[in-house]
Structures are given as C-alpha cells and as structure tokens.
Amino acid sequence: MISGMRILTVCSFVMEKDAVSTAYFVVHSISLFGFISNSVAVVTIYKKRDLHTPFGILCAAIAVNNAFVLTMNSSWYALPDDPMFESASKYSRLIGYVGLSQWNFGCKIHLLIALNRLLAVVLSMNINNYWTQSRNLAGMVIILVLGYIQNTLMLIYKDIWFCYDRQLMMWFFAKTERGRFFETKINNVPCYLDFTLTITFDLITLTVLRVFHSKAFSQSLPEVNLYTLFMFVTPILTTNFSRFLSTTFAWHLALGVD
C-alpha cells in the first residue's frame, strides 16, 4: 500500500469506543456495497458478449479482485479478539501478505486499463488486433505472480509485515528498519510509479473525451479523484478516526466504486 496506508505516529493511541462502533458499521457497510457492485459488474460482463474483449476481461479481473479483497478483509475484521489474530501473528501476516499482493495486482491491472483506454480513445487504435485474449490472460497471470513475488520478503523475515490493528482499525507496516525499507522502497516506489502512469494516461484520455464526448468524461473521473486523494491527503491527517476514514475506509470505498 502507498504511504497513506500506514499509521503516521507511534501506535499508542486507541480509537474511542463510539468511534470504533461507527467505524465497524461504516467499513462493513461499504464492503457489502462494494461486494455487490463488483459482483454485478462481473455478471454483466459475463452476460454481454460484446464485453468479451480484452478490455472487458481486464475490468472483470479487477472486479473479481476487489470482491475477493473486500470479503477477505471484512471476514478478518469480524474475527474475535484473540492473540492468534493480533498484529504480527502468523495469521495476520498471511492476510497482510495476500491483501498487499492483491493490491499490487490491482494497481497493475488499473495501469493496463488506463493504457487500453488511451490507445483506443487517443490513438484510435483497434487494440483487439494486437491485445488478444491469450496475451491478455497471460499478462494478468504474470502480473498476479509478480505481485506475490514482490512481497516474498514478508514470508522470509519476521520483522517485515503489513498488518491490521484492531484498536485503530488501520493497516500498517512493521516499524522496524527492514519494515521501513520494505515500505518505502519495495512497496511505495512501484505503487507511486503505477499511480503516476495511470493518472497520466487517464488525464490524457479524459481531456480528449471532454473535447469529443462530454458524457464519457465523468465515467473515469472518480477513479482519478480517489487516487489523487489517496496519495496526497491521507499522509497529512492527524486524528485516529480521520486516518481510519482515509485509509481503511478509503481503500474499501475505492474497491467498491472501482
């Protein structure tokens, strides 16, 4: 996750009880909404044969990925307080490893979707002639595998992890020397690159759509706004509940409206 998806101060604070109850209700509600919306997207793509294109498959892949992560995270949040589920436990580390790897996969798929739109809209290319179904599927498999390989250090070193804190209801990286290196170099740098390219491609596409097709302009705008908010606003927030809203909630909201 990018720098915003971490606790910015020492983890000695606990969210107020009323805020925790509100946070649980909010995150589970948005997760349910996200699961339903992504499931509808997958079913729609499956039923409409004209969407059985490389672009449609990419959209279906991101929807399946989103639904999976939302289900996994919500199930994890609902587990009872127990030492085996605490941050840095082996189960917590495994959930964090899978969630972060799927996040990496989603970032790359978004980049491919943005590139696909750019080529089709700006360059008016019939990309189906070059971007075949077999190449598309092969690319997604490679991206998925690379996403998990990128985080293998989390399985090797016990002081490198990405876990969920039940008191603060936020995800954060290990505050160790290796953990900080993993977060800033191995995780953040590729994420920033993916986001920068995705936003750049989408802004170019949005500019063209604004000129030629104003209705289509609004269809990609939420994605650009969410990524921009996620990257630049989250790191400057201070209260625990606002951090929850801008990290865990923002992550689930992004997965839901994607």
Residue 10 within a domain: no
Q: Is the pTM of this model over 0.75?
A: yes
Residue 2 within a domain: no
Question: 94-134 pLDDT, tens per residue?
Answer: 999 999 999 999 989 989 988 888 888 888 777 777 778 88
Residue 12 within a domain: no
Question: 179-197 pLDDT, tens per residue?
Answer: 999 999 999 899 889 888 8
Q: At 24, which CATH number?
A: 1.20.1070.10
Residue 95 within a domain: yes
Q: How far apart are CA 88 and CA 45, in angstroms?
A: 39
Question: 190-233 pLDDT, tens per residue?
Answer: 988 988 888 888 888 888 877 665 455 444 555 556 666 666 77
Helices (H) and strands (E) in the chain, counts: 10, 2
Half-sphere exposure of 49 (CA within 13 A, CB side): 0
Residue 63 within a domain: yes
Domain tally for the chain?
Answer: 1
- CA separation, residue 136 to residues 128, 130, 148 (Å): 10, 10, 19
Domain that holds residue 77: 17-257
Q: How far apart are CA 34 and CA 28, in angstroms?
A: 10
Residue 184 within a domain: yes
Which of 130-139, 155-164, 220-229 is the least confident region?
Answer: 220-229
**Whether residue 14 has pLDDT greater than 60:** no
**Whether residue 9 has pLDDT greater than 80:** no
Residue 80 within a domain: yes
Q: How far apart are CA 46 and CA 60, in angstroms?
A: 8
Which of 45-49, 129-133, 141-145, 165-169 is the least confident region?
Answer: 129-133
Question: 32-77 pLDDT, tens per residue?
Answer: 999 999 999 999 999 998 888 888 999 999 999 999 999 999 999 9
Q: What is the DSSP string of 207-241?
A: HHHHHH-HHHHHHHHHHHHHHHHHHHTGGG--SHH
User: Closest Cα partner for 164 from 93, 60, 98, 220?
Assistant: 93
